[in-house]
Chains A and B, each alone.
Chain A
Amino acid sequence: MRYAKAVLTAVILLATITSLCVQSGQKAEREKVVVGVIGPMSLPEGMAEEKAVKLAAEEINAQGGILGYPIEVVVGDTKLDSNTASTEFRRLATIENADVIIGGFSSGVMLTMMETMAETKTLFLADASSPAHAKKVAENYERYKYWFRVTQNNGSTFALDLADMVKFLKVSGYDASKVYIIRDEHVWTDPVVEALKPLLEAEGVEIVKDVRVPRGYSEYEQLIQDAESMDADLIMPILAIAGTGDILAKQWATLKPNLLLAGHDLAAIDAEFYNKTNGMANYEIFIADGGALVTAPPTEKCKEFVEAYKKKYGHYPESHQAYGAYDAVYLYKMAVEMAAKAGEKDPFDPDVLVKYLEKFDASNPAELTRPIAFYKNHDLMWGDKYVRNWISQWQDGKQYIIYPDSVANGEFKLPPWIEK
Chain B
Amino acid sequence: MKISTLFAALLILISAALPLVIPEAYLYLIGLTYLFAIIVISWDLMVGYTGQVNLGHTTFVGLGAYIAALLQTPLRIGIAVHPAVAIIVGGLAAALVGFVIGVITLRLRGYYFSLVTAILPLVFMQTVFIWRDVFGGEEGFSIAGYALFDTTLSKYYFALILLLVSLAAMLKIVRSRIGLRLMAVRDSEELAESIGIDTTRYKVLAFVLSSFFAGIAGAAIVNYRYTVGPELYDIPLMLLVILSAVLGGLGTIYGPLIGAIVIYLAKNWWLRDLISMASLPINDEIVLYAILIAVGILMPRGFFHELQDRLKH
Contact = CB atoms under 8 A, between A and B. Distances in A.
Interface of A: 1-11, 13-15, 17-18, 20-22, 24-25, 41-42, 77, 80-84, 86-88, 90-91, 93-95, 107-109, 111-112, 114-116, 118-119, 130, 132, 136, 143, 185-188, 190, 214-215, 241
Nearest to A92: B25
29 contacts: A1-B4, A3-B7, A4-B4, A6-B307, A7-B11, A8-B7, A11-B7, A14-B11, A17-B265, A77-B272, A80-B231, A83-B32, A83-B225, A87-B32, A90-B24, A90-B28, A90-B29, A91-B26, A93-B25, A108-B138, A111-B227, A112-B142, A119-B152, A130-B139, A132-B139, A185-B130, A186-B129, A186-B138, A187-B137
Interface residues of B, number: 57
B24 A111 contact: no
A83 B221 contact: yes
Interface stretch (B14-22, B86-94, B98-106): B14-22
Interface of B: 2-4, 7-8, 10-11, 14-15, 18, 21-26, 28-29, 32, 36, 126, 129-130, 132, 136-142, 144, 152, 221, 225-227, 229-231, 236-237, 254, 258, 261-262, 265, 267-268, 270, 272, 283, 304, 307-308, 311-312
Nearest to A25: B23
Contacts of B24: 90, 94
Nearest to B129: A185
A215 B231 CA distance: 14
Contacts of A17: 265
> Do most interface residues of chain B lie in helix, strand or loop, or is the interface mixed?
helix
A233 B265 CA distance: 54
A158 to B, nearest CB: 16
B236 A21 contact: no
B210 to A, nearest CB: 21
A217 to B, nearest CB: 12
Nearest to B228: A82
Q: Among B8, B18, B129, which residue has the most Cβ atoms of chain A within 10 A?
A: B129
B3 A4 contact: yes
Contacts of B28: 86-87, 90
B18 A6 contact: no
Contact of B225 (A25, A115, A188, A215): A115
